[in-house]
Every structure is written in structure tokens, then in C-alpha cells.
Structure 1
Amino acid sequence: MDPITGLAASAAGGGLFGLIGTALGRVAGHFETRQRLQHETERWAHETKLLELQRHARAEETEGELALAEVSGRWAGLSASMAADAAIGESYRWVSAVRGVTRPALTLLLWLIAGLIWIGADGAGRASIIETATFAATAATLWWFGDRGPRRGPTA
């Protein structure tokens, strides 16, 4: 029986090592799956963060474009107003006198409105209202009185 016992021991030893190899393979597979899931989770978190940053960048770009369009519109309106004012020729003396008084009166009124808004506006709405009123008052002051400087005659 000695050869049969040796054969049985060899078969049992081979089976035991086969079972241990299978168990080690399954344990390694479990760790590989866990590592792959962790990697996928990190990748999706990174993708989500990247998409959020791209969305934020597009929102800021849109805000910038809107602000630029608003400022461009303001300057275009000011330019058109200046061109219209320059097209007005000389008229009767009383018309020129009324025109001469209109600019200072409107400027004073604009600064008065800006001051009243600043005093009466609440904290939340004050910033944008004051910016707009100050823009209008400053533009009026500099434009209306800036072109009143001494006129130079034609240079030869």
C-alpha cells in the first residue's frame, strides 16, 4: 500500500495547494476590484470638478461679455449725444442763453439726485444705483463743461 498512500498524499497535497492558490487568487481579485472602484470614484470626482470649473468659467465669461456690451452701449450713446450737440448751430441770443444755463442746472440736478440716492438707498441697492448716478453726473460734468474751454481760431 505504500505506492497508493504516496499517490493519495500527492493528490491531497496537490489539491490543497490548488485550493490555496484559488483562495489567494480570489483575495487578490477582491483587492484589485476594490482598487479599480476607488480609481473610478476618484476619476469621476475629478471629472465632476473639471465640469464644474468649466461651467463657472463660462458663467464668468458671459458676465464679462454682458458688462462689456453695457459699457460699449453707454459710450456709443455718449458719442451720439456729443455728435448731436456739435451739430447744433448758432441761434438767437436767448436760445444760446437758455442753453448756457441748462448745462449747469442739469449738472447740479444730477449731483443732487446722486446725493439723494446715496442718502436714501439701502445698503444692498446702493452700490449699483450710486455707480450709475455717479457715472451720469461725472459724464455730464466733464462733457458739458469740458467743451466750454476757450476756442482756438483756425491755425494757419
Structure 2
Amino acid sequence: MEEVAGLAASAAGGGIFGLVGTALGRVAGFIERRQTNAHERERWVHETRLIELQQAARAEETEAELALAETAGSWAGLRASMEAEAAIGESYPFVNAVRGLTRPVLTLLLWGIAGGIWLGADAGARTSITETATFAATAATLWWFGDRSPRQGHSL
């Protein structure tokens, strides 16, 4: 009987040891999967953030390109306008007087609009609208004074 009891105790001890080993293996596997999943989640969060930053950078680059194209178009329009103005010859004194007063009046009007917007607009809209109006008023002012420079062979 002792042999049977010893055999049973050995079998029970081996079984318990095997179950403990299996349980430890499962716990270790669970911990490994959890760590792997955590690393995967971190990697996906990192990749998602990287993609978001790349998209934001592309959006800013596109905005900068649009602003540059808009500014280049504005200067091209100003150049074409000045060339058209230069091509107009002398006319009747009344026509020359009206033509001579048009730019100063428009320039003063643009500066008045820029000032009115600055005084009357709310803070959110003020910046954008005022920048545009100031650009137009400054361009008109510089064009007016730049085009009024003394010409060789002509009197003002």
C-alpha cells in the first residue's frame, strides 16, 4: 500500500507541478500579449500622429503657395495697370485733370476704408480684413507717388 500511496503522491505532485507550470505559462503568455498589444497601440498612436503632422505640414505648405501666387498675381496686375497707364497719351486739360485726381481720391478712399474697418470691425475679422485693405491702400499710395516721379522731357 505504501507503494501505491507513494505512486499516487508522486502522480499528484507531478500533476500539481504540471498545472502550476501550465498556469505560469499562460500568465506569462497573457503578460507578453498585453505588452505586445501595448507596443502595437503605441506604434499606431505614433504613426497616426506622424501622419497628422505630415498633413498639417502639407496644408501649411499649400497655404504658403496660395499666398505667394496671390501676391505674385497682385504685382502682375499692378505692373499691367502701370503699363496701360503709361501707354495713354496726353488729352484735353479737363480729361488730364480728372485722370490726375482719380488716383489720389481712390487712395484716400482706400485709406479711409482701412481706417473704418479697423475702428468698426470686431477683433476676429479685423486682422484679415485690415491686412487686405492696408495692402490695397499701400499699393495704391506707392503706385501714385511712384508714377508721379518726374519724367525726362515731361513736366507735371
Pick the TM interval, shorter chain.
0.7 to 0.9
Offset at residue 85 of structure 1 (A): 0.9
What is residue 96 of structure 2 aligned with on the other side?
96
Distance 1:51 1:79 in 2: 42
Rounded Cα–Cα distance in structure 1 between residues aligned with 2:20 and 2:135? 83
Equivalent-residue separation in structure 2 for 1:105 and 1:16 (angstroms): 101
Tell me the TM-score normalized by structure 1: 0.80
Shift in CA distance, 9/121, structure 1 to aligned 2, threshold 3 Å: closer
Distance 1:152 1:17, change over 3 A: same
Aligned length: 153
Alignment CA distance shift 1:77-1:22 (3 Å) = same
Gaps of 5+ in 1: none
Per the normalisation by structure 2, the TM-score is: 0.80
Tell me how far 1:81 sits from its aligned partner: 0.8
Deviation at 1:59, TM superposition (A): 2.2
CA RMSD of aligned residues (A): 2.4
Q: CA deviation at 1:27?
A: 1.8
Of residues 93-102 and 137-146 in structure 1, the stretch that sits farther from structure 2 once superposed is 93-102
Match in the other structure for 1:144: 144
Alignment match, 2:57? 57
Deviation at 1:128, TM superposition (A): 1.9
**Would the alpha carbon gap of residues 6 and 111 (structure 1) be closer, same or farther in structure 2, given more than 3 Å must change?**
closer
Matched, 1:74 2:77: no
Alpha-carbon distance in structure 2 between the residues aligned to 1:13 and 1:22: 14
